[in-house]
Amino acid sequence: MSQKLKLTRSESLYKESQDLIPGGMMGIRRPYNFVTGEYPIFFESGQGGWVLDADGNRFMDMLCAYGPIIIGHREGEIDDAVIGQIRGKGFCLSLVQEVQNTLAKTLRDLIPSCQKCVFVKTGSDATTTAVRIARAFTDRVKVLRCGYHGWHDWCVEVKGGIPVKFYEDVTEFHYNDLAQVEDLMKKSGSEVAAIIVTPVGHPLAHEVELPKPGYLQGLKTLAERHGAVLIFDEIRSGFRVNLGGAQKEFGVTPHLSVFGKAMANGYEISAVVGRADIMDMLVQKAFLSSTFFPNSLAQVAALATIRMLQRDRVLEVIRQRGQAFAAKVRRICADSGIACTFSGEPWMPYITFDRDAKGLYKKLRPEFYTQLIRRGVFLQPFHHGYIAFRHTEKDLDFAAGMIAEAFEETKKNILK
């Protein structure tokens, strides 16, 4: 039986942090999003596909910083390029640097929807910019949305501190339910500025879904029929599902799309890309500016990351390893005798527990993830994981073995 982790230092730092920072750290990284008392709260370092916590516990990192780590932690080639920019040219200047154009041309070569682009910092920056552009282009206000699109007023799930008028024109729809969108567009299509959707469905604490045949094309057809802008939120799927995004993988080109996370292997950058005439709303009609958006370090990191993705066939390797890992874990899930589902193959692995009338899944989930963290595999109970390039076949075999052990211990403790 695996023992409870020593978390003394982590818990001490957490106690200190609560006196300094509201909640100790920002929302999704707070302890209640894991298993309280079982998961580390502070990490010390990362290397390759593994991380070390503040108490010296070592874990295979399958959360990958919630997605940005596509290659691995502390990648020398990427970090060296950034250090070279710092020492050789600087990065925070009053005017933009040439690397902006180089990265923009690179994205245009890779992403089907990219005729022009702008660089911002976070996924929330990018989705909000895309919605602003769409509203300026159409002179409309209403937005139909599906998926998590960040923390800004128009889309954040927790409404505290936000006036109703900031989101009253935003309507949510369910992933893969084209009929629902058809009905919404029949009712108010002439007022809809944008339909924004994650092309791969990844609702919180639910299975990862791929688009049904015709779903994404159906959304585009509806958008164009009613004069709305179709936006793909590729913050998670971009530079992971395909170098050209899920739009390239599934063969549907939106009018606008947003990319981030894996684009720079952890450096803070995101991009809004799209059709030139729509993007040109930012020339005069819509405003976008920030002191730090043009900073070049993350742009340099993005170029170095993309070079590695192309040269080393990173996404092909991740796909192959992810498929092999999924096949093993599916068998383990089936053999466990526990009502659970594996989804997200091959990019975003996730084990969820099937909901039941008695609420047994609410006991199975924390017990399983407790057993998994004790065995050195870092995954999140309420969020899908990721596979990085530095996760070797041996690493993934280790993770699969620990998943099998965690299921066995869960059965003993919950289903006895």
Burial of residue 26 (number of CB atoms within 10 Å: 0-12, 13-18, 19+): exposed
274 within a domain of the structure (yes/no): yes
Give residue-wise pLDDT tens across range 342-357: 999 999 999 999 999 9
Same domain, 327 and 274: no
2 within a domain of the structure (yes/no): no
Nearest to 136 by CA among 305, 328, 272: 272
3 within a domain of the structure (yes/no): no
Report whether 410 contacts 375 (CB < 8 A): no
Same domain, 298 and 154: yes
At residue 1 the predicted structure's pLDDT band, cuts being 50, 70 and 90, is low
- Domain extent, residue 322, equals 8-73+313-414
Same domain, 336 and 390: yes
Which of these three, 287, 311, 335, is where a domain ends? Answer: 311
Give residue-wise pLDDT tens across range 382-398: 999 999 999 999 999 99
CATH code for the domain of 97: 3.40.640.10
Give residue-wise pLDDT tens across range 77-113: 999 999 999 999 999 999 999 999 999 999 999 999 9
Which of these three, 296, 311, 326, is where a domain ends? Answer: 311
Give residue-wise pLDDT tens across range 320-337: 999 999 999 999 999 999
Same domain, 83 and 133: yes
CA distance 94 to 301: 20
Nearest to 400 by CA among 318, 320, 316, 331: 331
32 within a domain of the structure (yes/no): yes
CATH code for the domain of 366: 3.90.1150.10
Is the pLDDT score of 416 beyond 80? no
Same domain, 129 and 272: yes
Nearest to 60 by CA among 394, 407, 317: 394
Same domain, 224 and 343: no
Same domain, 97 and 207: yes
Same domain, 257 and 400: no
Same domain, 194 and 260: yes
Question: What is the CB neighbour count within 10 angstroms for residue 388?
Answer: 27
Question: What is the CB neighbour count within 10 angstroms for residue 153?
Answer: 14
Would the pTM count as exceeding 0.85?
yes
Same domain, 247 and 280: yes
| Domain tally, the chain | 2
